Structure 1
Amino acid sequence: MAVFSKSTAPQFAVDIYQNEYLPEGAREVNAIVTVTATGGGTSGGLPLVTQGPGAAVVIMVDCSGSMDDPPTKMHNARQATAAAIDTIRDGVAFAVIAGTHTAREVYPADGRLTVADSTTRHQAKQALRTLSADGGTAIGTWLWLADELFATADVPIRHGILLTDGRNEHEEPGALWAMLDACAGRFTCDARGVGTDWEVKELTGIASALLGSVDIVADPSGLADDFRQMMENAMGKGVADVALRVWTPQGCEIKWVRQVAPTVEDLTLRRTEAGPRAFDHPTGSWGDEARDYHVCIRIPATEVGQEMLAARVSLVLPQPDGTTQAVSQGLVRAFWTDDMAASTHINPQVAHYTGQAELAQAIQEGLEARKQGDFDSATTKLGRAVQLASASGNDDTAKLLAKVVDVVDAASGTVRLRARVANADEMTLETRSTKTVRVRK
Structure 2
Amino acid sequence: MANFAKSNVPQFAIDVYQNEYLPQAAREVNAIVTVTSTGGGTTGGRPLPAGGEDGSGPRAAVVIMVDCSGSMDYPPTKMRNARQATEAAIDTVRDGVSFAVVAGTHKAIEIYPGDGRLAIASHETRAGAREALRRLTPSGGTAIGTWLRLAQRLLAASPASIRHGILLTDGRNEHEKPEELKAALDDCAGTFTCDARGVGTDWEVKEVTGIASALLGTADIVAEPEGLAADFTAMMEKAMGKEVGDVSLRLWTPQGAEIQFVKQVAPAVEDLTARRTESPPRSGDYPTGSWGDESRDYHVCVRVPSAEVGHEMLAARVALIIREVSDPAGPPATTLGQGLIRAVWTDDLAASTRINPQVAHYTGQAELADAIQDGLQLRKDGDEAGATAKLGRAVQLAHSSGNDETAKLLAKVVDVEDAAAGTVRLKARVTEADEMTLETRSTKTVRVKK
1:152 to 153, 157, 171: 157
1:210 to 210, 215, 233: 215
Q: Distance in 1 between matches of 2:43 and 2:213?
A: 27
Counterpart for residue 315 of structure 1: 320
- Counterpart amino acid of 1:186? T
1:422 to 431, 435, 439: 431
SS of residue in 2 equivalent to 1:178:
helix
Aligned length: 438
Contact 2:45–2:238 (CA under 8 A) maintained in structure 1: no
Q: Distance in 2 between matches of 1:430 and 1:378?
A: 13
**Structure 1 347/238 Cα, relative in aligned 2: closer, same or farther at 3 Å?**
same
Is 1:400 the counterpart of 2:409 in the alignment?
yes
Residue correspondence of structure 1 range 340-379 to structure 2 within 5 A: 340-379=349-388
- Counterpart amino acid of 2:392? G
Tell me by how many angstroms 1:41 deviates.
1.6
SS of residue in 2 equivalent to 1:46:
coil
Counterpart for residue 277 of structure 1: 282
Contact 2:44–2:237 (CA under 8 A) maintained in structure 1: no
**Structure 1 223/43 Cα, relative in aligned 2: closer, same or farther at 3 Å?**
closer
Tell me by how many angstroms 1:14 deviates.
0.3
Counterpart for residue 40 of structure 1: 40
- Counterpart amino acid of 1:20? E
Q: Distance in 2 between matches of 1:386 and 1:199?
A: 24
1:296 to 284, 296, 301: 301
Tell me by how many angstroms 1:25 deviates.
1.5
Q: Distance in 1 between matches of 2:292 and 2:231?
A: 19
Counterpart for residue 54 of structure 2: none
2:270 to 252, 265, 268: 265
**Structure 1 43/284 Cα, relative in aligned 2: closer, same or farther at 3 Å?**
closer
Is 1:18 the counterpart of 2:18 in the alignment?
yes
1:130 to 120, 127, 135: 135
Counterpart for residue 440 of structure 1: 449
Counterpart for residue 175 of structure 1: 180
Tell me by how many angstroms 1:128 deviates.
0.4
Counterpart for residue 58 of structure 2: 53
Counterpart for residue 196 of structure 2: 191
Query: Which shifted more, 422-431 or 128-137?
Result: 128-137
Q: Distance in 1 between matches of 2:325 and 2:6?
A: 11
Moved over 2 A (4+): 47-52, 319-323
Q: RMSD of the alignment, in Å?
A: 1.2
Tell me by how many angstroms 1:43 deviates.
7.5
Q: Distance in 1 between matches of 2:439 and 2:26?
A: 36
1:387 to 376, 393, 396: 396
- Counterpart amino acid of 1:397? T
Counterpart for residue 121 of structure 2: 116
Stretches of structure 1 lacking an aligned partner (at least 5 in a row): none
Q: Distance in 2 between matches of 1:43 and 1:412?
A: 38
Q: Distance in 2 between matches of 1:320 and 1:226?
A: 29
Contact 2:45–2:92 (CA under 8 A) maintained in structure 1: no
- Counterpart amino acid of 1:414? T
- Counterpart amino acid of 1:49? P
Tell me by how many angstroms 1:277 deviates.
1.1
TM-score for the superposition, normalised by structure 1? 0.98
Q: Distance in 2 between matches of 1:11 and 1:274?
A: 24
Is 1:254 the counterpart of 2:263 in the alignment?
no
State the identity as a percent: 73
Contact 2:299–2:359 (CA under 8 A) maintained in structure 1: yes
- Counterpart amino acid of 2:28? E
Tell me by how many angstroms 1:321 deviates.
6.8
